[in-house]
Amino acid sequence: MALSSDDITLFLAVVDHGSFSAAARALRRVPSAVSMGIANIEAELGYPLFDRSRREATPTAQAMALVPQARTIASSLRLLQVHAVQLSQNLESTLTLAVATGTQDQDLLDTVTHIGTRYPLLRVNLRHAPQDEVRAMLHQEHIDLALMPAPAQANREEVRITVGEETFVAVASATVDTFGLPVDLRRLEDLSASRQILVAGPDESVVDRRLIVSGDRWHVDSVETARALVQVGAGWANLPTSSIRASVAAGRLRLLEFENTRNGVPLPVHLVWLRRKPLRKAAGEVVELMRTSHR
């Protein structure tokens, strides 16, 4: 027998309210309709669901064995009904976001978690990639929102709000010699002949030039890999302060010092979407919550 959603609702109503008459009142039906409905289910199943020898409708052992799964199905049906209505109100079925590697994303994670409680059946895809790849994904419309440091050049196709700030600092190993790094380093320009570890995709044409100093560069796709290479002396790197703080405190990395400039490039962090692709319900709420939390 295939139990219908109405059968499950009827069955649980009698279990929860303890009698056919109480279940009938809760369901706004006449008691005879509830009693007949349960009898039909029992006839199909081939065993009784309730002991009718008492005043109350007492569930049988077989009925109690069905209750947990029945509740799960009923809950899923309610969520499905709500989600169906939300989709008619411009809720997207999937929300896809990307974060530039090394960008602090805790506020975004908190926001997305909150959105997930509002729309339990919304599917969320969250990706991390180098900033140039995140921006490419955005313009290829593979993602809805991007969280990344502000690019050097504005793009009229992009809409952006500031949701934070990240400072990139030049670091080298504190325990071993760094390949090509001058022993008597004094000026920022002295780094130009040493190897720089860069968090970026392989395409040189789209790399953020503000963070590039050296002509000799290795490209990696994560801050974690860059930090590990720097720690073993493969090169130096411009990395987000938040990502190297613990390593500096532990004596594995050191901040480079220059006589002619301060070590640090502060960059605002933006939440970005495309002007030609209007935000739908969940994405719009993410933007508004992030905007509000940054004020």
Q: Please answer whether residues 252 and 173 qualify as being in contact, where contact means their C-beta atoms are separated by less than 8 angstroms.
A: yes
To the question of pTM greater than 0.95 for the whole model, the response is no
pLDDT in tens, 177-197: 998 898 888 888 889 889 999
The pLDDT of residue 24 is above 60: yes
Helix or strand holding residue 109 (H, E): helix 106-118
CA distance 40 to 118: 38
Tens of pLDDT, residues 237-249: 999 999 999 999 9
| Helices (H) then strands (E): counts for the chain | 9, 11
Residue 271 pLDDT exceeds 80: yes
Residue 172 pLDDT level (bands cut at 50, 70, 90)? very high
Output phi, psi for 55, to 5 deg: -65, -40
Residue 263 has pLDDT above 80, yes or no: yes
Sign of CA dihedral 131, 137, 140, 145: negative
Q: What is the pLDDT of residues 33-87, one digit of tens each?
A: 888 888 888 888 888 988 888 778 888 899 899 889 988 888 888 777 766 766 6
pLDDT, tens digit, 9 for 90 and up, residues 74-131? 888 877 776 676 666 678 889 999 999 889 999 999 999 999 999 988 999 999 999 8
pLDDT in tens, 137-171: 999 999 999 999 987 677 889 999 999 999 999 99
pLDDT tens digits, one per residue of 196-230 = 999 888 876 656 777 888 888 999 989 999 999 99
Could you list the beta-strand ranges (E) of the chain: 50-51, 58-59, 94-100, 123-129, 145-149, 158-173, 196-199, 217-220, 237-240, 253-255, 265-274
**Polymer length in residues for the chain:** 295
Residue 43, token pair as written in the block:
């006839």
Q: What domains are there in the chain, each with its CATH number?
A: 5-88 (1.10.10.10), 94-164+268-294 (3.40.190.10), 166-267 (3.40.190.290)
